[in-house]
Amino acid sequence: MLRLAVLDQSPIAEGGTGQQALRNTIDLARHAESLGYGRYWLAEHHGTPMLACSSPEILVGAVAAATEKIRVGSGGVMLSHYSPYKVAEVFSVLGGLYGKRIDLGVGRAPGGELETIYALQRDRRHLLPEDYAEQVGELLAFLEDGFPAGHPLARLAKLPGAPGTAEVWILGTSPASAELAAALGLPYGVADFIDPGSAPSGRLYRERFVPSRGLKRPEVSVAVGTVCAETGEEAERVAASWSMAINLAGRGQFGPLPSVTRALAFLAAEPGLDSFAGRRVVVGSPGSVREQLEQIGEEYGADEVMIHTLAHNHAARRRSYELIADAFGLRQARRAREPARRRR
């Protein structure tokens, strides 16, 4: 059966604050765990007034502390900005605190605009180097104590959270990211909500996968933009805020996630507008959403669909995840797994 997970970007609603968005993330994580979702990932974005997820490592710790069993991770750390050693230290500590519940998804994208890249760089004299594969290799060596004897960094491989560690995922949409994940024998997370044409990368990863010590068979998770409500009409209404935000971002206009009322007026004033500016967002009633998510999962050969939802109203976002969970029978499956004494 297709597994379900959550990708959270901590959206900041028009009229709200970043602090509220972060508190909503904790609330949604607890709700997702109670619904039976298996994984909860926190994204990394910088320099945008719409998203509060600039520090996934802090949110991973906060969500893990607020939950009990759900896996928690980064979706993902934009490794090009950071020292692999520091990232390994941080996720070693998280693994030490929360055991085998921690995932470390790493990506190559900068997670923001050119100004963001400039602001994040310690050395601003040079552009970001093209050394992502080397960074990933060094990160794995730190996490797995994998430096050869005599390597100048070998003695640093004893990380503070040992023996705790995090499961590393390669994130991306391109054939290059698929080939890297396959060659290293790592699980692969594909961002369909960024590029709906990424299914060939998922298939390429499966074809070229090389088993590793940590993973014997390929594992694919596909992140899909999704909005669900009791009816298709209501789902379209809730999704209007997201649609407006994407279209404005394409014009270089950034702000908090607009209200549904303002978004509906914006969309009505521009007939013929591509609702999500070329992005794929699954919008509909529970049955329709389940059918579409299963089709996308099959398209990617995915083991898991990671649901990514933006909505102006936090209650509507909670309800979307709830309806999807029930459409897939997550709560029933969770109750069936619980010991009988806990159900009394």
Q: What is the pLDDT of residue 341?
A: 43
Q: Give the CA distances from residue 79 to residues 7, 53, 161, in Å, rounded to whole numbers and listed in that order.
A: 18, 15, 20
11: pLDDT strictly greater than 60 = yes
Q: Which of 216, 214, 223, 238 lies closest to 323 in space, CA to CA?
A: 238
Our CA angle for 206, 167, 319, nearest 5°, is 85
- In percent, the amount of the chain with pLDDT more than 70 equals 97
Half-sphere exposure of 94 (CA within 13 A, CB side): 28
Give the pTM: 0.94
Q: What is the residue type of 301?
A: G
Spell out the domains of the chain, with CATH numbers in brackets: 3-343 (3.20.20.30)
- Helical segments of the chain, H only: 18-35, 56-66, 84-98, 114-120, 132-143, 175-184, 199-208, 232-250, 260-268, 286-300, 314-327, 330-337, 340-343
- Angle of helix 330-337 relative to helix 18-35, nearest 10 degrees, comes to 60
Quick: pLDDT tens for 118-133.
Answer: 787 777 777 777 889 9
Gap between the Cα atoms of 259 and 266, Å rounded: 11
What is the amino acid identity at position 47?
G
Among the ranges 44-48, 62-66, 212-216, 276-280, which has the highest mean pLDDT value? 62-66
What is the distance between the alpha carbons of residues 291 and 266, in angstroms, rounded to a whole number? 30
Mind listing the pLDDT tens digit for each residue in 213-261? 999 999 999 999 999 999 999 999 999 999 999 999 989 999 999 999 9
Residues 107 and 127: their CA atoms lie apart, in Å, by 17
Give 179-221 pLDDT, tens digit per residue: 999 999 999 999 999 999 999 999 999 999 999 999 999 999 9
Secondary structure (3-state) at 288? helix
6 — phi, psi (to 5°)? -125, 135
